[in-house]
Amino acid sequence: MNNSSRNNQAGRNNPADRNNQADRSNPAGKSRVSTSTNAVAENTMDIVNQGLSRRYNAEKRFRLYGICAIMLSMAFLAMLFISIIGNGYTAFQQTFVKMDIFLDPETIDAQALQDANYQGMVKQSLNVMFPDVKTRAQKRQLYGMVSNGSAYQLQDFVRKNQHMIGSVIPLWVPADDDVDMLIKGHISRDVPETERRIKDVQLSWIDRLQEQGRIQKRFNTTFFTAGDSREPEQAGILGAVSGSFYTLIITLVLSFPIGVATAVYLEEFAPKNRWTDIIEVNINNLAAVPSIVYGLLGLAVFLNFFGLPRSVPLVGGLVLTLMTLPTIIISGRAALKSVPPSIREAALGVGASKTQMVVHHVLPLALPGMLTGTIIGMAQALGETAPLLMIGMVAFIVDIPGGFTDPSTVLPVQIFLWADSPERAFLERTSAAIMVLLAFLVTMNAVAVFLRKKFERRW
C-alpha cells in the first residue's frame, strides 16, 4: 500500500521534473515557441469566434426545422381529427317528428297486418296536421318531410300493439334527411330557395311543427342497428360491422396459426440454406407488395379459378390472410429472437427434444410479442379497403350478413361507398362511420400496447 502510493507520487512528479529541466536548459527557446502558439491560437480563436454566431444560428435554425416538421405532422393529424369529428358528431343524433296517426280499423285487417296501407296512414296524418295543403306538388313536398321508412315503423308498432287498432296513437318517426340537415344547421336558411333542398313552404311547416313541440333530436339508434340504405336516415353500419367481424374472424383463424408456425420454423428449425433464404426474401417482399395486388390475386385465384362466391367474408378473409401473414411472421420472428438462447440451451441440456424445447419453453415466452404483432396485423386488415374492392365486397347490401358466405361489405368499404354519395346527410354518416372505425382501431392498438407493456420482459 505504502509502496504503491509512493510510486504514484513519483510518477506524478516525474513529468514536472522533466519540464523544469527543459526550462532550465533552454529558456529562450521555450518562450519563442509559446508566443508563436499563442499567435496561432488567437488567429484560430478569432476565426472560430467569428464563425460562432453564424454556426449557432444555423444550429438554432436546424432545431427549428425539426420542431416545425413535428408540429406540421401534428397539425395534419389535428386537422384530420377535427374535420372528421366536426363533420360527424351530429350523425349520432337524428331528428324525429311526432305524428298522431289514426290506426283505421277499416284499412287494417287484423288477419293480414302486412297488407295494410301504412304509407297511406302516415300521409293521412300529415294531411290532418296541415289541412291547408291542397295542391299535388305541395302534398308531395309535405309527404317528403318524414322518412319513408316510417311506414315500416308503423307496421312494427301495429304488430306489437294490435289492441290499439281504431285509436289515434302518437308516434315519433324519423324525419327525412333534408329536414334533419336543416334542424342540425347544415342547410342554411339564408341561401336562395332555388339553391336549397328545403323549399320555403317546407320551412314554414317545419317552423310550425317546432312551435308545437313536434320536432325533437334523439340518439340515432338506427345508425348502429341497420344495414345500408339509399336513404340516409335509414342507413346504418351494423351490416358493415358484422361483415368486418366475419372477415376478421377468418383472417385471424387462418393467419395466426400459419404465421406462428412459419415464424417458429424459420427461427428455430430451418437450416441456413438457399431454400430458407428464398422464403425469407419472399416474406420480406410480400410485406411491401401493394395491397391492391392481393386483390388481383384474390380475383384471379379465389373467384375465377376456385369459383368461390363474390362479395363474401370468406374470400375477403382469405385475401386479408395472405396480406397480413408477412406482418405476423416478421413480428413473430422478432419475438422469438428476443428469447435468450440460454433458455433453449437449458431445455436441451435437461434432455428435451427440439420440439419440446420450442413448445414448452420458447413459445410461451414469445407468445405475448406474437400476439401484439397479430393484433397490429388485424388492425391493418380491419382498415384495408383496396383488395376487397377487387373481390366484389363493394356491392350495395341492405341485409345484415349472418355468416361467412353471406354477401356483405366491410366498414372501410362502407365508408368508401358513402363518401361517394351526394347527400349532405351521408357526409356526416361517413364521418361518423370513420369515427367508429377509428375507435375500433384505437382499441385494438391500445390492447396491443397494453399486452406489450404487461408481458414485456427484459432479459
Partner 1 sequence: MSSSNLLLVLLMLTASGYFLGRRRAVAVAVARGRSQQILHSRPTYYGALAALWCALPALIIFSFWHVFESSVITQLVIAGLPPDMQALPSDRLGLVINDIKNIVGVDIVPQKIHPAIQAAADHYTQLTAISNATLAVIVTAIAIAGILWVQKIISPELRARNHVEIMIKYLLVACSTIAIFTTIGIVLSVLYEAIRFFKVVPFHEFVFGLKWSPQMAIRADQVGSSGAFGAIPVFMGTMLISAIAMCVAVPIGLMSAIYLSEYANKRFRAVAKPLLEILAGIPTVVYGFFAALVVAPMIRNAGVSIGLDVSSESALAAGLVMGIMIIPFVSSLSDDVINAVPQSLRDGALGLGSTHSETIRLVVLPAALPGIVGGVLLAVSRAIGETMIVVMAAGLAANLTVNPLNTVTTVTVQIVTLLVGDQEFDSPKTLAAFALGLMLFVITLILNVIALVVVRKYREQYE
265 binds partner 1 (CB under 8 A): yes
We find the least distance from the C-beta atom of residue 328 to partner 1, in angstroms, to be: 11
Taking CB under 8 A as the criterion, the residue among 202, 385, 408, 409 binding partner 1 is: 385
Quick one: 168 or 289, whose CB is closer to partner 1?
289
In what order do the strands lie in the sheet containing 168-174? 168-174, 93-102, 215-219
419 binds partner 1 (CB under 8 A): yes
Quick one: 165 or 293, whose CB is closer to partner 1?
293
Taking CB under 8 A as the criterion, the residue among 237, 264, 339, 347 binding partner 1 is: 264
Q: Segment 275-334, which members bind partner 1 (CB under 8 A)?
A: 278-279, 281-286, 288-294, 296-297, 299-301, 304-307, 322, 325-326, 329
Phi, psi (deg, nearest 5) at residue 260: -65, -45
Residue with cell 289515434: 168
Quick one: 151 or 329, whose CB is closer to partner 1?
329
384 binds partner 1 (CB under 8 A): yes
Element (H, E) at 327: helix 313-337
43 binds partner 1 (CB under 8 A): no
Taking CB under 8 A as the criterion, the residue among 371, 427, 432, 436 binding partner 1 is: 427
443 binds partner 1 (CB under 8 A): no
CA distance 381 to 321: 8
| HSE-CB of 71 using CA atoms within 13 angstroms | 6
348 binds partner 1 (CB under 8 A): no
Taking CB under 8 A as the criterion, the residue among 147, 244, 247, 262 binding partner 1 is: 262
Please, are residues 409 and 243 in contact by the beta-carbon 8 Å criterion? Answer: yes
Q: What is the DSSP string of 72-102?
A: HHHHHHHHHHHHHHHHHGGGGEEEEEEEEEE
| HSE-CB of 185 using CA atoms within 13 angstroms | 4
389 binds partner 1 (CB under 8 A): yes
**Residue 368 buriedness (CB in 10 A; 0-12 / 13-18 / 19+):** middle
**Residue 245 buriedness (CB in 10 A; 0-12 / 13-18 / 19+):** middle
70 binds partner 1 (CB under 8 A): yes
Taking CB under 8 A as the criterion, the residue among 390, 397, 425, 436 binding partner 1 is: 390
249 binds partner 1 (CB under 8 A): no
Size of the site for partner 1 (CB under 8 A): 86
